[in-house]
Each structure stands twice: as C-alpha cells, then as structure tokens.
Chain A
C-alpha cells in the first residue's frame, strides 16, 4: 500500500525546458501537486513565453538552463523537457548533484517507464525515461495483452495533429519510431515491435489517434484479453481522463510472416486535458500526465525515506 503523507510534506521539484511540454507539465503540477512542490522552471531563452507565464504564476524562473537547478540543493526531483542532446549533458550533472531525473526527451539514458506497466520497477534509479508520447499511449495496451498471452509482434500507428508536433518531434522523427518500437518490446512484452508516426494537418485539428495491432503466439483466451485491455484503459484513465478506445477490440484473420494468424486491433483516441495545450494535443498531454505520475511516486518514495531516517 502506498503511504499517504501530510499535505505539508512535499518534495521540491524543478522543470528544465520552457517549451510546450515544460509549460503543460507546469500547469499539471500546479493543478495537482500531490507530494511535489514546483519551485523552479528554467529555460535558455530570456524572451521565452513559457518563462513569462511561469513568472506570472509566481514560479521562480531562470534562463540559465540547468545551472540554477544544480545550484539549488533543496530540489530533489528534476523533469527534463529539453531535447535528447541537452539531456545527454544534463544527466551526469544531475546525477552528481544527487538529483533524480525524469527525462521527457528521447535520450533514453535511463530505463523506460510507462506507469501502468512498470512504474514501480525503477524507483531506485537516478534517471528514468518517459519513452515517447506514442509509447506512453500504446505500450500499456500491448502490455495488457502480453500479460495474458505471449505476443509475436506488436505494431502501433500514431496519428497526431500537425499543430501538436513540435520541432523536437519533427527533427528527430527516426528516434520516435525507433524508441517507440523498442518500448513495445521492452515494456509491451512483444517479441518484435514496430512503430509508425503520421502527422495530419487537417483543420480543425484531429485528436491524437493511435492504432495498436498485435499478433498473439498460439491460442489465446479472448475473454481474458478483452478484460485485461478494459482494465488497462480504466487504469490509464485515472491519470489521462481523455484516454479511450473508439471501438471494442477487433479480431480478424490475416496472412502474416508467421502464417495465417488472428490480428488484434485497437483503435485508441487520446484527448488532452487542455491544461495548457489544446485538447487535440493528446500526444503531449499523455506525456506530461505520465511524467507527473512518475514524479509523484518518486516524491512519495523520497518522503518515506525521510520518515525512516527520522524514526
């Protein structure tokens, strides 16, 4: 059982990166702080709108990037919402300063964390990675099936509105497909994973859509698979309310490299909470919501450690 702590017991946290992801995460931490207290948001551009917004909300800001974070010994938990390249520099600095890093970039130095699948496995790590938005959306569904029946193959197709794909995604689209495919294997439990991303410029913008295909190995219990998927959707909804299957799981026979096999297809839609980013940006929302949840568990664990030390 998770221990609840006094509301006044909080872990001080910082966000590095004042772009879309950093800003949306800031609103989430203010709206639902749990056992975290956001004390600092840093960027590198003094003219950043994100920094101005944070300042207006009474959060301390800095445009000296990571340095201000390193200089604050009371900050124990740091969300890095910059870029993979920047995180490669940030990670060792944060580690030697004794701070836990929750990495929202595709750098993937630490183990992947997808809350409903493996969150509790990595609470001893000093650096964890949030995979990709598509990974946060689809790995739980693949995991939900593979915990019931082994999977030969899983594939995800993520379609996001052009407006919600920032420069980070656009300049590193290969990293998205490679990291997400790997997460379907490592987290999802499929023997082989594949990921495809499509940007759709429709006006008005579309909601984030994901299609997940899975090929089970041998016979499987259809009722158990359906129940596991339903349970998983409900669990993700506890932290991403706009997460829903558009249709019940579809099963059809298809020719595959493994012969004629039943294909399980799930059509998923993710509507954002609209905290800062618009509701169509479900891809970014699931990233920040998952990061907040991971942060909350780390914060509780740190507080438990303090209590034990005090006892």
Chain B
C-alpha cells in the first residue's frame, strides 16, 4: 500500500448539514486550518455542486463563487477543488470557478450515466484543470458495470475516477471489489468517497486502500451528508499508524476539528436511526434532512419515506421525490383511517 492523497470536503459535503449556510469567515477559517495541516486538496462548493443553490436542494446563503475565492486566498499549498454534477451545473460555472482559483474539478454522475460528463471533462482539460470523475451511488451496480462507466470518464480525459458510496450502503467487501475492479481496468488513478451511515466510513476507506485506492476523501468531524463522511482527522491518525501518512499533521487536524469546525456545526452527524436507514435502504445521503422535514410536516416516520425511496430506486439528486412519496404515504394513511 502507498500513502493516498487525501481530499477534504468539509466545505462541500459539509454544506449539506450546514444547510448551505457557510459564510466567508467560516470558509476562510476552515480552509486555512486544513492548508496549515498539510491537506493537499480542499473542495469548496454548494453541497450539490456548482449551481446547486436551488429550491430542490436549498439556497446558498453566500454565493459559492465568493466562498471559492475566500478559500483560495488563505491557502498557501492546498489546491481548491469544486464539484460539478452535469444536469445541475454547467461548464459556464466551471469556468468562473477556475477563474476564481479552482484547480481541480470533480465531475459527478449517477454511476450508470457517465456519458453525460464527456463535454465537461473535455472542457476541464482545455482549461488546464485536474479532472476527477465521481461515480455516485456506486453500491447500486456491480464492479463490471462501474468499470465500463469509469472507462467512459477515462477516455474523456479524467485523471482519476472515484467509487462514491453516496448512500453509505457499502460493506468493506463492496468497497474493496469496486476499487479493485477499477484499479485493474484503468490506467489512471482510482479514489474512494465514503459515508458513515452504517458506521463503516473509515473501515470502507481502509478496504479501498487495500484494493489500491490512490485518493480518498474526508471531512473534519465527519461533517457531511447523512451520518457524515470519514473524519479527516481520524483518517490522518489511522494512516499515520499504518505508516501511510502522506504528510498530514495529525495534531493540527485534530485541533481544526475540535476548535474550528465543531463550534460551527449545527449538529454532529452520526448514524442516527434515520441515517442508518439511508445506508440500510441504499438512498442518497442528502435525503436525510429533506425526509425529516417532510416526515414532520405529514406526520410520517422518515424511515418509511426513505425505505420507499429505496424501493423506487431513487438516485442522486432526486430530493423532489421525497415530497411525492410523503404525499402518497399521507394519503394512504388517511384512507386507512377512513375505513
């Protein structure tokens, strides 16, 4: 095994639990702490990527472009990454992000739909950016399908392709097999992005490393969607003990988690009953707060809504189906009572 590159996505995946309310001051503080601790890549974007600010996902309090500039200003060594989900953001926003200092773009698609990203990879490479592919909800398809999809990204210019466990639904074996398949099939790097809904974010990340992952993701205090991600400070400590520390300052990351990000967090993401249900049912981690809100409004257990979304094979970004399902369940309950 070799020391992986660690990307911190507190300022992107963490945007979900923050309800997209990050301020310029908060972004500066987090980015500076990460930069000083030796984190090489810091992702800053709305939780649903460039142009994610919407009624569907939640409006940003501060424009992500301002936040990208703010992070860029305080970083001395770290590169700024942005997330782009084709169908939500476009190359127009990517260009602006690049002009504001983003050097890496992570281009994400549902794990069966990689061909929608071809124009974005080509555009990113033309801009001279590093381009990383994200195959989201990768638990939904077997390794051979993911391999085909990863090849589409590779041939469009990707420098790396990630297996993304957006639902936090994988077991260590699932993570291992998927990363392994990509490592064997691709000439480029392979990454792994975990969610902690089943309490396996760090464990799955280690399984991915064993399968040869070159890049992994973390968030300070695990601040991310659902039960959060693999905590960056924990990954640093574990990697160090394994003799795989890529140059991270473990104590500085612990301090950043404790003194910088923890005070701004609205809650500590952990595998609560609703978050466990997300991993168990295999639905998108960002559904958590939306399902809780709909559950409260219509008097339905959020777990019932999440389980039904899993049965309908909802994919990344389909927050609008939550209202749809809640209304149907509420109608069903009303009819039941009437009988």
Contact = CB atoms under 8 A, between A and B. Distances in A.
Interface of A: 153, 155, 157, 159, 162, 167, 170-174, 176-178, 194, 196-203, 206, 209, 211, 213, 215, 246-247, 250, 252, 254-257, 263, 265, 267
Q: Which 7 residue pairs are nearest across A and B when measured between Cβ atoms? A: A202-B313, A211-B320, A174-B90, A201-B112, A213-B55, A197-B87, A199-B113
Interface stretch (B114-122, B160-168, B272-280): B114-122
B56 interface: yes
8 contacts: A153-B55, A162-B113, A174-B92, A178-B90, A200-B314, A250-B327, A254-B55, A257-B59
Given A155-B56, A167-B115, 6 more contacts: A153-B55, A178-B92, A198-B316, A200-B318, A211-B324, A255-B59
Contact of B317 (A174, A196, A215, A265): A196
Contacts of A211: 56, 320, 323-324
A174 B323 contact: no
B312 A198 contact: no
B153 interface: no
Given A159-B318, A198-B315, A202-B312, A173 B54 contact: no
A177 B90 contact: yes
A201 B119 contact: no
B54 A172 contact: no
A167 B119 CA distance: 12
A213 to B, nearest CB: 4
A196 B313 contact: no
A201 B313 CA distance: 8
Contact of B87 (A171, A173, A209): A173
Contacts of A159: 318, 320-321
A200 B327 contact: no
Contacts of B315: 198-202
Chain A's interface: helix, strand, loop or mixed, by majority?
Answer: strand
B226 to A, nearest CB: 19
B43 to A, nearest CB: 21
Of listed B87, B314, B316, residue having the most chain A CB within 10 A? B87
A170 B116 contact: yes
A246 B323 CA distance: 11
Given A162-B113, A247-B327, A265-B323, A199 B87 contact: yes
A174 B91 contact: yes
Given A173-B86, A177-B90, A256-B59, A267 B119 contact: no
A206 B311 CA distance: 12
A203 B312 CA distance: 9
Nearest to A252: B297
B113 A201 contact: yes
Given A155-B56, A246-B324, A247-B327, A198 B87 contact: yes
Contacts, number: 99
B87 A267 contact: no
A21 to B, nearest CB: 18
A280 to B, nearest CB: 13
Contact of A157 (B113, B119, B320): B320
A221 to B, nearest CB: 22
Contacts of A202: 312-313, 315
Contact of A196 (B87, B110, B312): B87
B82 to A, nearest CB: 16
A133 B304 CA distance: 33
Interface in B291-336: 297, 312-318, 320-321, 323-324, 327
A167 B115 CA distance: 9
B110 A201 contact: yes
Contacts of A155: 54-56
B88 interface: yes
A209 B316 CA distance: 15
Contacts of B115: 167, 170-171
Nearest to A211: B320
Contacts of A254: 55
Nearest to A159: B318
A157 B90 contact: no
Nearest to B140: A201
Interface in B31-77: 51, 54-56, 59
Nearest to A156: B56
Contacts of B312: 202, 206
B320 to A, nearest CB: 4
Contacts of A265: 323
A210 B205 CA distance: 36
Given A155-B55, A196-B54, A200-B313, A177 B320 contact: no
A263 B112 contact: no
B56 A196 contact: yes
A78 B112 CA distance: 36
Contacts of A247: 324, 327
Of listed A153, A157, A162, A246, residue having the most chain B CB within 10 A? A157
A224 B49 CA distance: 37
Nearest to A213: B55
